[in-house]
Amino acid sequence: MAKQTKNSGLVYSTDAGRICPKCSRPVASCQCKKQQQAAGRGDGKVRISRSTKGRKGKGVTLITGLDLPPDELKALAKELKQKCGTGGTVKQGVIEIQGDQQELLKELLRGKV
Ligand SMILES: [Zn+2]
């Protein structure tokens, strides 16, 4: 096994150097992104917002714009639910966390996405 040094930095640095995991093309020339957006995937600009619509004022905190495959999205949602100590769900690329968790989620997502 190769010896790995610590502090070697991020595996990827720029979009140009990234290879799309779906089609194995450089991200710059891949078409998956467009398809993802058409399918409701995020654009990588993560937004945290609240919604109380149809929930009798209790509300949920929504995390939108996450550009993650469904499996990672689910894993992230699970982790966030645990850290918030509340329930939640994933709907069409949007993570819903119960209650007003905006500040906590901002902290948790910092450096993660
Ligand atoms: Zn691709």
pLDDT digits (tens, 9 = 90+) for 92-103: 889 999 999 999
Tell me how far the alpha carbon of residue 35 lies from the centroid of ligand 1, in angstroms: 9
Q: Which neighbouring-strand residues pair with 50?
A: 61
- Domain-by-domain residue ranges, the chain? 42-109
Tell me how far the alpha carbon of residue 103 lies from the centroid of ligand 1, in angstroms: 33
* Residue bearing tokens 């645990």: 82
Q: Which neighbouring-strand residues pair with 49?
A: 62
pLDDT confidence tier of residue 39, bands split at 50, 70 and 90:
low
Tell me how far the alpha carbon of residue 66 lies from the centroid of ligand 1, in angstroms: 16
Q: Is the pLDDT of residue 36 over 70?
A: no
Tell me how far the alpha carbon of residue 101 lies from the centroid of ligand 1, in angstroms: 33
Tell me how far the alpha carbon of residue 2 lies from the centroid of ligand 1, in angstroms: 29
Q: Rounded CA gap, 109 and 3, in Å? A: 30
For domain 42-109, say whether CATH 3.30.780.10 is its number. yes
pTM above 0.85, yes or no: no
Strands (E), the chain: 47-51, 60-64, 88-91, 94-98
